[in-house]
Amino acid sequence: MTRKSIMLREIIKRIWCYFWGQIFVLCYYKKKYLTGEWFRGKYGCFLAPGWKWVYHDGWDRLLKGSNPGVPWPVGRNVKVIGWENIEFCPEDLRNFQGLGVYYQAMDSHITIGRGTWIAAGVGIIASNHDVTDPELRKAGKSVYIGEKCWIGMNAVILPGVTLGAHTTVGAGAVVTKSFPEGNCVIAGNPAKIIRYINEKNNV
């Protein structure tokens, strides 16, 4: 298959996604979440990559009932609970398209700052089970993640945690307490600061 035919095939696929996307928008989504960079294509909005997210998520909702009620497209391997309590910038919609990411905001808020990146397998949890009786739940505590943070693969952020801007969370870290000062790298279980970041020199 030539490069030109591959490009033509991709263009046709994106136009198809855009067409179905318009139908799914009427059924499932709020337009304010579909206005970011992922919906501004180089050759017109109908070629924008975000419509592939809408297309695939729309069919998953129609056929499988996945992520009901969430007013933005969610990847098939992402779980969102309590979408009403989640705040993020539409430009960062990519954070809901990853692999195995879990957002749980049942009775408290999750706020994700602009420009933050969230890797595969991350869990962000605003409420938890009671250790004395798993049938019960503890009261929720809001999670706040500042701007331009990087949450590494398989990290877990627990209820009540605040991360300041420019915080990097190492892969597999379990964040049990807040690091509001930001500009740092945290890692481990429980997570602790392993170094600070100098914004000018990035060290």
> Could you list the active site residues?
129
For the chain, how many residues are written? 203
DSSP designation for 107: S
- Does a cis peptide bond (omega within 30 degrees of 0) precede residue 190? yes
| Cβ 164 vs Cβ 182: under 8 Å | yes
- Coil, helix or strand at residue 156: strand
Query: Pairing mode, if any, of strands 133-137 and 129-130?
Result: antiparallel
d(CA 37, CA 80): 22
Query: Is the CA virtual torsion 164, 34, 85, 74 positive or negative?
Result: negative
Please give the full DSSP string across 183-195, using - where no structure is assigned.
Answer: SEEEETTTTEEEE
Q: How distant is the alpha carbon of residue 12 from its chain centre?
A: 28
